[in-house]
Chain A
Amino acid sequence: MAFPHRPDAPELPDFSMLKRLARDQLIYLLEQLPGKKDLFIEADLMSPLDRIANVSILKQHEVDKLYKVENKPALSSSEQLCFLVRPRIKNMRYIASLVNADKMAGRTRKYKVIFSPQKFYACEMVLEEEGVYGDVSCDEWAFSLLPLDVDLLSMELPEFFRDYFLEGDQRWINTLAQALHLLSTLYGPFPNCYGIGRCAKMSYELWKRLEEEEDGETKGRRPEIGHIFLLDRDVDFVTALCSQVVYEGLVDDTFRIKCGSVDFGPEVTSSDKSLKVLLNAEDKVFNEIRNEHFSNVFGFLSQKARNLQAQYDRRRGMDIKQMKNFVSQELKGLKQEHRLLSLHIGACESIMKKKTKQDFQELIKTEHALLEGFNIRESTNYIEEHIDRQVSPIESLRLMCLLSITENGLIPKDYRSLKTQYLQSYGPEHLLTFFNLRRAGLLTEQAPGDTLTAVESKVSKLVTDKAAGKITDAFSSLAKRSNFRAISKKLNLIPRVDGEYDLKVPRDMAYVFSGAYVPLSCRIIEQVLERRGWQGLDEVVRLLNCSELAFTDMTKDDKASSESLRLILVVFLGGCTFSEISALRFLGREKGYRFIFLTTAVTNSARLMEAMSEVKA
């Protein structure tokens, strides 16, 4: 189990430097406000901060008390207040209200706002409007890349998805370009660049512009990572919408992994308290099962438990000296392994219990039918019943989206009836959610002949052809068809199964979905790497509605070692799932590559749906 890497697999670059950089910058910024100060931290920044610094570091730099940014009056009595926040309007309003309350009370203090990863003009505008611009000094903490694991970098910006793919706001493109620039500064230029998607293309262009402006910085550096691949989430929604069945994905779907760690509740720890556990390559037990199909995990863990028992048992019949050795050298390791093992067994049990309760088998069957495109009527009925029984609103929405994307939209009759029942089951205000989903292209109604929307044709009449082209682009998400069925056929996403698919010995990336489906995103990456570009994929690219949005940029670089050419950085704009990570890790092992993942945030189907929901639970 836990497939080893090929002996010739390249070493991963050391990304801990990124943590060090971020920490140094934060310390520098704190020092900019000399003397004792209270620090207000935005909730979303706490976990990322946790991973790079700790309380004692902050204390050393004269942070006195720590507060969470909440919409409550501050109790701080410090003369200096420092705010560490994401650039959000509501944070600005909160800070402004604090400052204004102080002013009313005739109190003067120093205020500093540190925006992470960057400041937005809209935020400054709010400070200005509220009359506190100038009372507050602003800084930026360019902490945009958090290494969550040896091969996983996260920007920890889940809002990237909604901001860009729903609202069309490009505010994070610069942040991403800066992050890529930082990577090329630290790890050398990327000789081979590929990408697909509008956001990917824009980010790439802005990044290249940054490199030009700061010309020379990466020149002459030896590339450490041979390839970079940028991919928009909307190129492949299907994969992100599927239920995950590899262990790490399943843990994420069930317990929600947050910033690389998970809170295991009492039902897992079999004690009365919850436990926060870091999940990464350092957890030896987890590292062996994270990429496994869930059906293998139980067997593996019990084998492991037997081995462990045997090792413990060895102490019988030891003499004093051997025993001393055992206690001083092995016991600690065994105990650690024991602890981890019992945690993961507990997690498995809890997952099994939950999944049996919710008829996971039937759910998976429906998903597979949708992916393969048979028994659509039956699947639609299943979804309907799901809604009628008020099973989780997020789950129902996810299934509807999966049906919509795989079928190029719902037929109008089904759309109306499912929507009505959904509103009746989960609340009429979800009308807003349906509108969002339609705009993002996640849940649409088949239009006769797929005509342009009324607004679009109206606008098109008003302007010249050239501008009309631009407008069509702007409406692309509304008008474009997903063409999933045709793409699936072209790329062979549904493996033909002769007999049972042996999940213990996976033969392709489809194992991450029980052998039923090769993740589209990963297949695209595989194909492009194999062909070293988009040659021969024109039809697929066209079906993906990305005709002008697929690009390749290869520079001949003699300095690139053969080892570096087998390292690939994959950038997911809008989030990637653990299933995709597992699938590409598998591909890497097969081909002797290593993949490094950079994502705006780790995502899953529930997070995508929640991002689209207008009604916060």
Chain B
Amino acid sequence: MNRTKGDEEEYWNSSKFKAFTFDDEDDELSQLKESKRAVNSLRDFVDDDDEDDLERVSWTGEPVGRRTRPGSFQSLSDALSDTPAKSYAPELGRPKGEYRDYSNDWSPSDTVRRLRKGKVCSLERFRSLQDKIQLLEEAVSMHDGNVITAVLIFLKRTLSKEILFRELEVRQVALRHLIHFLKEIGDQKLLLDLFRFLDRTEELALSHYREHLNIQDPEKRKEFLKTCIGLPFSAEDSAHIQDHYTLLERQIIIEANDRHLELAGQTEVFRKHPRKASILNMPLVTTLFYSCFYHYTEAEGTFSSPVNLKKTFKIPDKQYVLTALAARAKLRAWHDVDALFTTKNWLGYTKKRAPIGFHRVVEILHKNSAPVQVLQEYVNLVEDVDTKLNLATKFKCHDVVIDTCRDLKDRQQLLAYRSKVDKGSAEEEKIDALLNSSQIRWKN
């Protein structure tokens, strides 16, 4: 019986006799009854079956989860043949698109309902603007985005864009669907026209700017970014776009120059630390790191010098110091690290200052495996005593711990620390000397 039904369907689907119309309501009703019966009976069918016995294999072919019983699985379509569930599956699974609708007088609400059910449904009869708009509003009131988009595709095809835009301007839900649709199918031109019409200048500018992501060639990308500079961004964003252009321009110069240097093999830093990747399209901070790593000592006049980058992009002190510190520490250039924090006052005295807090400095140095001598100098500069003590203990800066305990007159802590240093070491001696000293008035 099922077979005959299938044949019948095939006949109608391929039929050229278009005069035929489904008696749709009846069809739906019978479908409904069948589904209902099927779902109810399926429940029993499903409940009886032991799902756990199914073999589970992932797409990589490995079994997942439970133990398996290979070969025990009977084809479901076979298993189904005697149960009413059979009729359920075909109904649910019947390609909805194959239902054809040749009727001409569906109302907007009927049309929208049919669209929602995934049926192919001609919209050609909605020719007056009023009909089109009614159709759209009906779709919007149904909340189904797929149907809203379907109607918009039709409207886009059959209305001039001025009229379409004008109608959508006061219908925001539909408008958002059109914008998303245009983005998805990549109709950039119409999208920009739409933003222009709506006077959404920021979105207009950003949509244009977004295109640069699709341009791989650095020169072409740079040229494209140049065209973005004059776009109606906010003042603040304009500056970002300008910076983006300038950055890529610089990177192109640096890249060409450094590739040459590296190939020539004359420069020590490139020989010792070959570049892992090109600097093109990297963020500014990464570029600064790169420049602090390879071009630290260059004069301000060159494009690749850190100072030049700092000035051009108005990089804040804090950011500059953090990045330079990380780069120089990575190269174990402790002398540069030292210089980074040394300032001279007007009398010529030197003093250590850091815009980022010395505890951060210590952490970064430690990450780059700085020796204890270097570490302890900076640990000593940490202002908060507790933090200082913690860091000193964590990074085994014995002298700092011992001196701090002495300054705090904390005998107990010093005593406790004694067990952490090596037996017979200089530190142990130092601790013992302090503990035996009669000069200190211990607080405990």
Contact = CB atoms under 8 A, between A and B. Distances in A.
B62 A169 contact: no
Contacts of B113: 213
B32 interface: yes
A471 B310 CA distance: 45
Contacts of B89: 24-25, 27-28
Nearest to B286: A390
B76 A66 contact: no
A142 B92 CA distance: 9
Contact of B145 (A41, A171, A435): A171
B46 A89 contact: no
Contact of B142 (A172, A206, A214): A206
B244 interface: yes
A372 interface: no
Given A16-B46, A139-B95, A455-B199, A57 B73 contact: yes
Contact of B47 (A14, A32, A125, A139): A14
Interface in B184-218: 184-185, 198-200, 202-203, 206, 209-210, 212-213
A235 B287 CA distance: 40
Tier of interface size on chain B: 35 or more
Contacts of A261: 64
A281 interface: no
A474 B55 contact: no
Contact of A203 (B88, B115, B143, B284): B143
Interface string A344-362: 0000000000000000000
B95 A169 contact: no
B96 interface: yes
Given A214-B32, A429-B212, A27 B58 contact: no
A141 B97 CA distance: 13
A411 interface: no
The prevalent SS among residues of A at the interface is helix
B176 A167 contact: yes
Interface in A398-432: 416, 419-421, 423-429, 431-432
A278 interface: yes
A474 B172 contact: yes
B153 interface: yes
B184 A89 contact: yes
Main secondary structure of the interface of B (DSSP, over half): helix
A126 B186 CA distance: 11
Interface centre among B90, B92, B169, B199 (most CB of A within 10 A): B92
Given A20-B51, A25-B89, A173 B59 contact: no
Contacts of A580: none
Contact of B58 (A56, A124, A276, A424): A276
Given A27-B76, A217-B36, A17 B46 contact: yes
A14 B45 CA distance: 13
Contacts, number: 232
Interface stretch (A71-79, A462-470, A485-493, A526-534): A462-470
Given A217-B36, A276-B64, A467-B170, A170 B144 contact: yes
A276 B62 CA distance: 10
Contacts of A55: 57, 59, 61
Contacts of A329: none
B164 interface: no
B145 A54 contact: no
A212 B207 CA distance: 43
A471 B146 contact: no
B149 interface: yes
Contacts of B360: 385
Given A174-B116, A186-B43, A206-B143, A474 B64 contact: no
B206 A435 contact: yes
B379 interface: no
Given A388-B319, A416-B236, A425-B285, A471 B172 contact: yes
Given A54-B54, A120-B146, A389 B322 contact: yes
A343 B286 CA distance: 38
Interface in A144-169: 163, 167-169
Interface in A435-476: 435, 455, 458-459, 462-463, 467, 470-471, 473-475
Nearest to A216: B36
The 9 closest A-B pairs by CB, nearest first: A474-B172, A170-B145, A168-B176, A171-B145, A121-B150, A428-B244, A202-B143, A28-B89, A54-B57
Interface of B: 32, 35-36, 39, 42-43, 46-47, 49, 51, 54-59, 61-62, 64-66, 73, 75-77, 80, 85, 88-90, 92-93, 95-97, 113, 115-116, 118, 142-150, 153, 169-170, 172-173, 175-177, 179-181, 183-185, 198-200, 202-203, 206, 209-210, 212-213, 236-237, 240-241, 243-244, 247, 281-286, 313, 315-316, 318-319, 322, 356, 360
Given A46-B59, A424-B315, 16 more contacts: A54-B54, A54-B56, A167-B180, A169-B180, A186-B39, A209-B142, A217-B36, A261-B64, A423-B243, A423-B284, A424-B283, A428-B241, A435-B202, A471-B172, A474-B173, A474-B175
15 contacts: A20-B42, A24-B88, A27-B77, A50-B59, A120-B146, A121-B149, A124-B97, A140-B118, A171-B149, A388-B318, A388-B319, A427-B281, A428-B241, A435-B203, A463-B170
Interface of A: 14, 16-17, 19-21, 23-25, 27-29, 31-32, 41, 46, 49-50, 54-57, 60-61, 66, 89, 118-122, 124-126, 137-142, 163, 167-174, 185-186, 202-203, 205-206, 209, 213-214, 216-217, 261, 276, 278, 282, 385, 388-390, 416, 419-421, 423-429, 431-432, 435, 455, 458-459, 462-463, 467, 470-471, 473-475, 614-615
